[in-house]
Chains A and B, each alone.
Chain A
Amino acid sequence: MKEPSPTPVDVHSDAFLARLMRDQLKLSIACALAFAVALVALPLLNYFQPEMMAQRVFGFTLTWLILGVLFFPFVWIISYVFIRRSIALENAEAQAAQDGRTK
């Protein structure tokens, strides 16, 4: 939970809205980047490093193991992090706004 902001927050100010959208977008983009990097990188690795990606791991090829099995837990981790952070962010925003209103 964030410290109550030192200056009163006016929920109807442009500054509040801009900060709100910026914080949310920052969190979303950070999480999206994590999986976008994976989605962009895997085809590139397949393209430039075919021998490495064709190595056998437990009978799978490396690239098959990544895409067919490991990708799903990876997506779970990203969504877990996002959900925790966004609940915390929302609580902090609500707290800040309510402090601003009571002042």
Chain B
Amino acid sequence: MNALLACLAAAEPAAKGIDPWIAFFSLITVVVTVGMGFWTAGKSKSAGDFFVAGRSVSVGWNASAISGEYLSAASFMGVAGMVMATGYDALWYPVCYACGYLFLLLFIAGPLRRFGAYTIPDFAEGRYDSPVFRKIAVCFVLFIGFFYTMPQMKGAGTTLAYIFPGLPYWAGVVVVGAVITLNVSLGGMKGITLVQAFQYWLKVFAITLPIFVLASVVGHYQSHLATNKTAQETTATTLPGIERKALPAKAPKDEAWIAPFGKLTTKAVDASIAAAKTPEEKSALEANKKPYSLLYTYSLIIALVCGTAGLPHILVRFYTNPDGVAAKRTTMWVMILIGVFYVFPPVYGVIGRSLTPELYDAVGAKGTDKVVLELPTLLAGRDHALLGSILSGITCAGAFAAFMSTFSGLLVSMSSALAHDIYGRMLRPASSPEQRLKAFKWSALIVGLVAVGLGSQVEALEINFMVGQAFAIAAASYFPLLFMSVWWRGMTMRGAATGMLVGGLSALASISLTSISDVAVAKAKKLTDAAELAAYWSDHPLAKAIADHWVAHPLARILCEQPAIWAVPLSIGLMVIVSKATAASIPADIRMKMLVLHAPEALGLKQEYIKEHEGLGRALRPRSASPCKPRPSSAFYVFGVKLLLFINK
């Protein structure tokens, strides 16, 4: 390992000031993860073995694996960065990530598990007997997937730029994207319980240990929070032993940072106030500020809570349990494991505000998103140089685990969608398994390339903000589909498709508008020369027009940035209206379908249903005899097994 490290250091003469410990821990994480993937893949010789991994492991291991899959770069780096940048309002993110999982448990997980649909396209086809609808659902896997890969790429670029200070942001994105894409397309697949469980414990270890050590040296969470003055306090509290560096002008003021309705939710109105010409305009906008923030907060909550249900790689994990009771116990442990984790990232944000305020001044990869990586090195200035380096190395390793697990999971589900559904079913229905396997590898390369391309464009956007957008699209498309299909008998395919398409696409469009203009504005801010700035805007007339529109209409900006509050009701409303209008096309066997969705698994109704409808509903066809074992019926899993077997030949 040290030899490798030396090679790496020698190969990067331009990169100055690489901390060997940080590079060492990060490299180990990458090597161990990739190695474990290949090792466990090599051990599963048959399709049966592949699934036994899911079945034979205990509730504890399985819960760790699910949590490992759930915690992405947004949870690891983004939450801390956003709490530091915007304060209280950012706390909604970790809370709603956890609540979203609960919502999924309450309404969707149980019925989908009984139905045996492992992915949303499987469910869409099985519930409505419609291959066409399956294709529509597949397109959304790609849309949401790409939106969700962008923040992971930002995490990768930020971390690599931190480890190798000379490296530009885009190079980090390219390197990490290439490594993971190669890993996936060569077959070191994830979806294997052991690797995921390892990643969870690595992430928890990497977020907790450094902060405990750090807090014992520089002071605790609540002490640092106490030094931030609230609007009600007349003087700022100072505590012995708690250091606070001066905040730069760019940082939000204490009163706005620690209180609700701060920078995150008011920035649209603030921009308009800054541009307002008359005092009357200013005061009118000022009066609207707080109601708009409340609206923003609710829209954010809806997006995050409902959106969790629609993430392509989350649902699959509900099926790696032997039976319904074990699945529920596992879910309880998942709630605890992710809840424990989410307490810690905000601590980095709070301590970071006191001790590394210089991050407020930096932009992109050097900004607040890297506070988790940066903070442990402060120990170096307090006579613990080696400890600081090691702890920072550990948080880097955690960051690597975070974006690697999520990105490779997304890559697998998106490439499967491309290879199996688009190539195997739409373009070339007669293709052989070998051809499809080849298609999978090419798909992984294409998806990887697009993800790297998109990822290198988003340096200016916050990790957590982008994840929130992916959640908003999922909330307006998949969530209404799943929720209504499970609980309402009267849904028709047309109703479901209309609601999902209109809700999802309108959320996608409004979010893209905000992102395009934000990226352009961030680029423009870097230009200091007035002539250059004018030239830049005349080259980008659309972005300019959008940005100007936001300043004139802050409410429109908020509704486009956080579309869930109107897009989710729109989608559900359309589903109801169109389904009522096309009530004649409700599937004939709807009663039996609903029974399979809701009756206890012990009754074995699914087997009865399948006997009656041989040949109907692919997603329902069993691949194993017992009703209690997980059936690898999804195209995704079957395909994964074929791939593994092929690689192990």
Mark A residues whose CB is within 8 Å of B. 11-12, 14, 16-17, 20-21, 24-25, 28, 31-32, 35, 39-40, 43, 46-47, 50-51, 53-54, 56, 58-61, 63-64, 67-69, 71-73, 75-76, 78-80, 82-83, 86-87, 90-91, 93-94, 97-98
Contacts and interface: CB of A to CB of B under 8 A. Distances in A.
Nearest to A51: B232
What are the 3 A-B residue pairs with the smallest beta carbon separation, nearest first? A59-B222, A59-B226, A72-B339
Nearest to A78: B102
Interface of B: 88, 91-92, 95-96, 98-99, 102-103, 105-107, 110, 220-223, 225-226, 230-232, 258-261, 290, 294, 297-298, 301, 305, 324-325, 328-329, 331-332, 335-336, 339-340, 342-343, 346, 487, 591-592, 594-595, 598-600, 602-603, 605
- Secondary structure of the A contact surface, majority rule: helix
Contacts of B339: 72-73, 75-76
A35 B259 contact: no
B107 A58 contact: no
30 contacts: A11-B603, A11-B605, A12-B591, A17-B599, A20-B595, A21-B594, A24-B110, A28-B106, A32-B106, A35-B99, A35-B102, A43-B260, A43-B294, A54-B232, A56-B230, A58-B222, A64-B225, A64-B258, A68-B346, A72-B339, A72-B340, A75-B102, A75-B335, A79-B332, A82-B106, A87-B325, A87-B328, A93-B599, A94-B602, A94-B603
Contacts of B220: 59
Contact of A94 (B99, B297, B600): B600
B125 to A, nearest CB: 22
B596 to A, nearest CB: 10
Contacts of B92: 67
Contacts of B325: 87
A36 B519 CA distance: 34
A50 B230 CA distance: 10
B95 A71 contact: yes
Given A32-B106, A47-B290, A90-B600, A54 B230 contact: yes
Contacts of B600: 90-91, 93-94, 97
A83 B343 contact: no
Contacts of A71: 95, 98-99
Contacts of B301: 39, 43
Nearest to A59: B222
Contacts of B103: 32
A61 B106 contact: no
A86 B190 CA distance: 32
B91 A64 contact: yes
